[in-house]
Amino acid sequence: MRVLVVEDERVLADAIATGLRREAMAVDVAYDGAGALERTSYIDYDVIVLDRDLPKVHGDEVCRRLVAERTASRILMLTASGDVDDKVEGLGLGADDYLAKPFVFVELVARVRALGRRSAPALPPVLERRGVRLDPGKRLVTRDGQEISLTKKEFAVLEELLRAEGAVVSQEDLLDKAWDENIDPFTNVVRVTMMTLRKKLGEPQVIETVPGVGYKL
């Protein structure tokens, strides 16, 4: 899952990003509204965690522009105010969810994951295919009932393959969803991660390489 965190309080922004990365998400950070609009112009995010009170371009305006552009990204709006009127106003701008500061981090993670599942068609909380079962909330993977220990990137790659429901996922899409914007697009990290993931999932192999196109499960 690819997430953009937009928060001008740098310590908080970096803490949120670090926590979400520990949940096997690929996370980019913008510290103002202008930076958020720039990143969303060339990166398709699954979820955008958007603070309302931003410099340069206010969070409300960022939300308005993204909605006007009919973005597929789900927007979780953050604010220092938990008043009902503020929540109603934020949702009225087009945000998909609203969370007041201070918040419990596990709730933020749960909301981000829930928004990430709101695709077309909607995906179930637990992903399963060909005996492989992945529970994003519990960070648990099993095959035929046997638990498998994966690294964060292996988990993220497997999640994207399962989300595709049998469709081919290109290396570019895996880089986009499982790694952040700092990754070298010419790296062989996807191939290496795929090799270790296949080994851990065991025989018979369930991940298929489609030459010149990508991978599918």
Task: Note the pLDDT of residue 84.
Answer: 73
**Predicted confidence (pLDDT) per residue in 7-34, tens digit:** 999 999 999 999 999 998 999 999 999 9
Q: Which residues of the chain have pLDDT under 70?
A: 81-82, 119-123, 185-186
* Torsion over CA: 152, 110, 32, 1 (sign): positive
Are residue 174 and residue 68 in the same domain, yes or no?
no
Are residue 37 and residue 78 in the same domain, yes or no?
yes
Query: What is the pTM (predicted TM-score) of this model?
Result: 0.73
Confirm whether 122 is domain-assigned.
Answer: no
Confirm whether 72 is domain-assigned.
Answer: yes
Q: What is the CATH number of the domain that holds 34?
A: 3.40.50.2300
Sheet with 2-6, edge to edge strand ranges: 26-30, 2-6, 47-51, 74-79, 97-100
Of the residues 117, 138, 155, the one at which a domain ends: 117
Q: Which of 72, 82, 158, 65 is nearest to 116 (CA)?
A: 72
Residue 5: φ, ψ to 5°: -100, 120
Confirm whether 161 is domain-assigned.
Answer: yes
**In Å, how far are 146, 159, 178, 208 from 133, measured between CA atoms?**
10, 10, 18, 17
Of the residues 60, 92, 117, the one at which a domain ends: 117
Task: Note the pLDDT of residue 93.
Answer: 83
Count of the separate structural domains present in the chain: 2
Are residue 108 and residue 193 in the same domain, yes or no?
no
| DSSP code for 203 | S
Are residue 137 and residue 210 in the same domain, yes or no?
yes
Containing structural domain, residue 87: 2-117
Task: Note the pLDDT of residue 119.
Answer: 61
Are residue 86 and residue 133 in the same domain, yes or no?
no
CB 98 within 8 A of CB 82: no
Are residue 90 and residue 136 in the same domain, yes or no?
no
